[in-house]
Structure formats: C-alpha cells, structure tokens
Structure 1
Amino acid sequence: MYEGKHPKKRYKITQDFLKEVLPENSKILDLGVENPFSEIMSKMGFEVENTKGEDLDQDFTSVQESAAEVVTAFEIFEHLIAPYNILKEIKAYKLVASVPLRLWFAPAYRSKSDKWDRHYHEFEPWQFDWLLEKSGWEIKRNITFTNPVRKIGFRPFLRLFTKRYYLVYAERKI
C-alpha cells in the first residue's frame, strides 16, 4: 500500500492513526482533491469523498452540505489564509487533520513555480490546538512525528530527529 515515491512513513503513521480513532466504514469528506492518500483510505474500507479544488478560504459549500461523519484534512490548513473559517463551518462531528510543523532551520514552504502551492501557516502544536479549540473542536488524541528524507545535507540530517508533522483527532464540542 506504500508503493512508489509516496511518503511511506507519513502514510503509515496516518493510516495507523485512522485505524485507532475511526470506526471501520466511516463516511469521510477529505478536504482537497483526490490524492494517493484518499485512495489508501478507500482501500482501508472508508467511504471517501473529496472536495473539488474550490478555494476553501471562501467556499464552504462542501463541508456545509456533506453528510460525512468525519472530515479529514492532511496538509491542507497551512495553505489557507484563514483556516478558522472553514473549521467553524464543518458539519461533521469528527475531524482528523495533520499540519506541517514550523521548523527553526527552514523558512515556510513556497513553490517557485506554483503560486497556489505555498504555506501561509506553519504551525507549532500549541497554535494548531488553539485554532481547533477556538473554532469549536475538542482534541481527543494527537501525535507529532518525523519524516526523514533520502537526501544528504544539514537539513536532511536534522529531519531525522526533528518532529515535522502534527496529527490530531478532534470532536465537535457540544
């Protein structure tokens, strides 16, 4: 299931986390267009629907009209200018989300060739926790983890032991 050049460690950790926090056959709305991990979730037995590429800073229709019981957002919120707004609009009562962590040795990611593939935010765990809490979510479980890259250099060396991702399971506060 972790074939090709996809991030094997990150996918495995995320898959194991989903198995821990979600019942089998959960109906999921995955924020973002269909991607390799949404295919993995489908193979795991989840019923997965993706958003269509709309601007989630301005268009909340997908989360407002979805009948999914779970929303997943894997490396999505860092691309939004105001993730608070869509988090408030989600109708599902469960959320599984991951964000890249701010690294002291690297600037925020900014693609030189794609004006949309940029990180407006890179979070520290407390910042993402606060964002979730202020937007009506209660964190039930969270983990941080590394995701080393197969390159030589100072930054790749630091990524061997520096936590790079933050993964959270939260439920809507009642």
Structure 2
Amino acid sequence: MYEKSFPSKRYKLTIEFLKKHISTSQPILDLGVVNPLTKIMQEHGYNVENTKGEDLDVDTSTIKNSESEVVVAFEIFEHLLSPFTVLQSIQANTLVASVPLRLWFSSAYRSKTDMLDRHFHEFEDWQFDWLLEKAGWKIMDREKWTNPTKKIGLRPLLRWFAPRYYIVYAERVK
C-alpha cells in the first residue's frame, strides 16, 4: 500500500482527497502512463484507465474519446506547454487534479538526465484556479499540503511550512 511507497505523504493525502469526492463506481481516466498512484487507486477499488504516453500537448484523442466519468491529473499539468488545451478537451464533467506549487525559495524542477521530467509551469494556487476557470471548470473543493524533507538547511526548513502541493476537485461548467 501507499504507506510503503515513496512519497507516502503525497500518495496518502491524494487518495484521501479522491475518496472524499469520487465513488469507486465512477470510471476514471488518469492523465499519464500507469504509475504508482494508478496502482494505489486500483488497490482502493477504482477502475482506472490511463493515457498511453502520447504527447498530450499535441494529441488529446485519448482524452476526447474516453467515456470515463472522472479525469484525474496528478502532477501532470506542470509538464505541459499547453494545459489549457488538455483541460478543454476533457469530456468528463468531473476533474481531480494536483500540481506542485511554485516555491519562492526554489527554482522549477528540471531533471538533468530526463528531457521529459521537467516542469514548464509551477503554479501559484490562484494561477491554477484561473486556468481551470478559463478552461470551463468550477472548483468545488481544494487543499494544500507541505512536503518536508529530512535534509538540513534553510530551504528544507522552509518546506515544513510552505505548501508544495495543491489539489482541486472541479466540475465542468455547463
């Protein structure tokens, strides 16, 4: 289970937020390839289908053709050049999405070895809210949480107090 998975706090809070809003009877489209959180959702009884690894900035056909009632997007929008296009292409009326928040004391994440594992966007909460609103979504619930580390230093200390993740439950505006 997620208690033994890294990063367990993020997984635990994400699944608790999902369970608060989404029934296991609602089919889910998870934006992104199968990942540890996909497996955790399945362990909790959710029926999850994933996108296939296509570049969602260019190809949204899987999203447009999905019959899932719910779309989840956990830490994916920060990797896209155009999350607005993806948000508009969603056919489901329910969205649960999380993003890493921009931290004033730390630059955006950029892997030196994986060209795809980079953040094009790191949002402030109001920016993500505005993006969702402009794309036709209304936020019904939201939470933030910190991501402390066990390292020593000023930035690790600040991570105990500054929220790092932002999750929302949103419904399509009709």
TM-score range, shorter chain: over 0.9
Which stretches in structure 2 are left out of the alignment for 5+ residues?
A: none
Match of residue 74 from structure 1:
74
1:8-157 equivalent positions in 2, closer than 5 A: 8-157=8-157
1:61-80 deviation line (CA, Å, top 9, x unaligned): 11101110000000000000
Q: Deviations over 1:33-73 (max 9, x none)?
A: 00000001011111001111100001001110111000000
Q: Quote how far apart the aligned CAs of 1:148 are.
A: 1.1
What is the alpha-carbon distance in structure 2 between the residues aligned to residue 51 and residue 149 of structure 1? Answer: 31
TM-score between the two structures when normalised by the length of structure 2: 0.97
User: Structure 1 runs of 4+ off > 4 angstroms?
Assistant: none
TM-superposed CA distance for 1:114, in Å, is: 1.1
Q: What amino acid is aligned across from residue 12 of structure 1 in structure 2? A: K
In structure 2, the CA distance between the partners of 1:49 and 1:126, relative to structure 1 (3 Å rule), is same
CA distance in 2, matches of 1:154, 1:54: 39
Tell me the distance in 2 between the aligned counterparts of 1:150 and 1:38. Answer: 27
Deviation at 1:3?
4.2
Question: 1:168 is paired with a residue of what secondary structure?
Answer: strand
Residues 3, 12 of structure 2: 8 Å contact kept: no
**Contact conserved, 2:139 with 2:170, CA < 8 A, in 1?**
yes
Secondary structure in structure 2 of the residue aligned to 1:38: helix
Alpha-carbon distance in structure 2 between the residues aligned to 1:5 and 1:152 = 23
| Kept in 1: contact 2:30–2:71 (CA 8 A) | yes
Shift of 1:24: 2.3
Contact map agreement 2:27 2:48 (CA 8 A) in 1 = yes
Determine the C-alpha separation between the residues in 2 that align with 1:145 and 1:16.
Answer: 13
Question: What are structure 1's unaligned runs of at least 5 residues?
Answer: none
Write out per-residue CA displacement over residues 134-172 of structure 1, whole angstroms, 9 at most, x where no aligned residue. Answer: 001010000111011222222111111110000000011
- Give secondary structure in 1 for the equivalent of 2:2: coil
TM-score (norm 1): 0.97
Task: Please give the per-residue CA displacement for 1:85-130, whole angstroms capped at 9, x wherever unaligned.
Answer: 0100000110000000000000111111111111000000000000
Q: What is the rounded CA distance, in whole Å, between the counterparts of 1:93 and 1:3 in structure 2? A: 31
Q: Cα RMSD (Å) of the superposition?
A: 1.0
